[in-house]
Amino acid sequence: MAEIEVLRASVRAALDEGGGGNGVDVVGRVCRACVHLLPVDGAAVSVMVEAGHREIVYASDPVSTALAELQFSLGEGPCFEAYVNGGPVLVPDLVAEPPAAWPVFAAEAATQPVAALFTFPVQIGAVRVATLDTYRSTPGSLSPGELSTALRVADVAALALSGLRAGGGRWLDGDGRWLESAGMRFREVHQATGMLIAHLDLPASAALARLRAYAFGHGRPLLEVAGDVVAGRLRLDEEFGGDTP
């Protein structure tokens, strides 16, 4: 498709300019193009290093942001499935056929103006580093041509992610490994997880699971709970020191 090649060329040209913050801006360009090229209402790209740790790079609209944050808070959803399995996750009718693999996310997502979800893994070389998450407000499947377009957009998203540079919102190095950045949306979640690891001698997955369980059990956003942990408003031994995550 000519439009995909135009997009790819524009991404390469923008990355060659090397402006500050340019990588994140170019990822945004890809998300907006995705909404234009496909029958979807929103798109987001989130980087991941393992199934439990992710960071939103760009979301095209508030619903895409809400879906991305909900998945991270719950630790389930199409982004995790696509990342782990390495293939597209296609949900043409979220209400009529909610996926059994992530029932809580499906139920919560249905409260948003979301009827269909299409998520695609993003790879830089052989390293799976991110997902391209899209949604639309009406049910229905992607045609074979639309699916092919989505996969090509995911490839361009990988090119855009490769342009994230230090000082411009850097999340990935050349090997696709996780890097801290002042602009990270979930910075305090990662900090709180580290505090639980150190204080309770837990593996990272168990520490993050305890944070998620506390937030879910108390009906609070994960970001808010993490902020309280980092600020010392929640006692690590009293609130998170149980025998199970």
Query: DSSP state, 220?
Result: -
Q: If you search the block for the tokens 């980087």, which residue do you land on?
A: 47
HSE of 99 in the Cβ direction (CA atoms, 13 Å)?
19
| 49-53, 156-160, 174-178, 186-190: least confident range | 174-178
pLDDT at 148 exceeding the cut of 90: yes
pLDDT at 21: 44
**Residue whose entry in the numeric block shows the structure tokens 């360009």:** 29
CA distance 140 to 16: 38
State both tokens at 106. 């499906």
Average pLDDT on 174-203 reads 64
What is the rounded average pLDDT of the residues 156-174? 62
3-state helix, strand, coil in the chain (%, to 5): 50, 15, 35
Residues 6 or more apart in contact with residue 162 via CB below 8 angstroms:
15, 124, 172
pTM metric for this prediction: 0.75
> In whole angstroms, what is the distance from residue 181 CA to residue 185 CA?
9
Label residue 73 by pLDDT band (50, 70, 90): confident
Report which DSSP code applies to 142: P
Of the candidates 76, 31, 26, 36, the one whose C-alpha atom is nearest the C-alpha of residue 209 is 76
The pLDDT assigned to 238 comes to 76
- For tokens 């070389």, the residue is 125
Q: What is the per-residue pLDDT across 77-124, written as a single tens digit (0 to 9) for each? A: 999 999 989 999 999 999 999 999 999 899 989 899 999 999 999 988
> Please, are residues 20 and 168 in contact by the beta-carbon 8 Å criterion?
yes
Asked if residue 157 lies in contact with residue 37, where contact means CB atoms within 8 angstroms, the answer is no
C-beta neighbour count of 182 within 10 angstroms: 8
